[in-house]
Amino acid sequence: MVEQETALELAGETLPTAKTIRAVLRQQLNGAVLAERTRRGEVVAPEDTWQMHRSLALVAQTCGEYSRAFADAAREAGQVAEEELIDTFGEQDGIPNQGLTVPNEDGTQVKVSLDIRSSWSADTDAIMAAVAFSVLAEVDWRDKLIDTIERDAPGAEVTDETENLLAGLLIEGMQRLLATGKFNPQITKIRDFTRTIAGTPTGDRIASTVNVSVRNSKIYKGVKIETVDAKPKGKQ
């Protein structure tokens, strides 16, 4: 196995740490850039920068290929660690039942944990309906609606049928707007909205409909491996 302070051993050669490689690459790149800028002198035409761009493209492409190679190795290491956890603790639906902490000789610990993230979602239709009816329930909008109806049709009233029709028009408008791009509601904003409209029988009903539509799903992303400092004795 590899030592803690080295990155990897390839073809019998031990690679330096990632920190050392990063410093050397940055130093060499800066040196090469300075040398090329000194050689070409002042830039007076786009062609004067061509050699620099050719060199930078080679560096970016080569480093990108190495980056992907190391990322693939790291991903495979995580997959093997996942298999080890399953062999040790069992699994449910392909997910290890628990993680593991392994002590190192230098006092640190290798922490192998499950990367499980929360994903929140809500029913867009429920949100749009709640927004539409909450707008119609606001005093200012209702007053304007009543004034308009009385002016155009004296003696007419704002009925449930009228409100449902107007709410449908608002919802249709929002649906057409959402058809132009992605809508990603924030759960904290949804909670703030439902708290704002709650307090009346109608508002409580609308808020409840939205809150019931909120779902929290757990997404398993794999195994996370990290080296951490050991906790002092006596502390949990």
Is the pLDDT at 199 greater than 90? The verdict is no
Q: How many CB atoms lie within 10 A of CB 161?
A: 8
Mean pLDDT for the stretch of residues 98-125: 92
Answer whether residue 233 is part of any domain: no
Would you say residue 236 has pLDDT above 70?
A: no
pLDDT at 5: 47
Residue 163 lies in a domain: yes
Mean pLDDT of the region 140-164: 75
Whether residue 30 lies inside any domain: the answer is no
Which whole number is the average pLDDT over 25-38? 93
Supply 107's token pair: 């006092």
- The answer to the question of residue 189 being in a domain is yes
Count how many Cα atoms sit within 13 Å of the Cα of residue 202 in the half-sphere of its side chain. Answer: 11
80-85 CB contacts, 8 Å cutoff, 24+ apart: 81/112, 81/223, 81/225, 82/222, 82/223, 84/112, 85/112, 85/223
Residue 95 lies in a domain: no
Stretch 169-185: mean pLDDT:
88
Q: Is there a domain that residue 98 lies in?
A: no
- pLDDT tier, 15 (very low <50, low <70, confident <90, very high otherwise): confident
Contacts of 36 (CB under 8 A, 6+ apart): 51, 52, 55
> 207: how many CB neighbours lie within 10 A of its CB?
22
Total domains, the chain: 1
In a domain, 140, yes or no: yes
As a whole number of angstroms, the distance between CA 81 and CA 88 comes to 11
Domain extent for 155: 123-213
**What integer pLDDT is reported at residue 119 of this predicted model?**
87
* Residue 179 covered by a domain: yes
Provide the mean pLDDT of the chain. 86
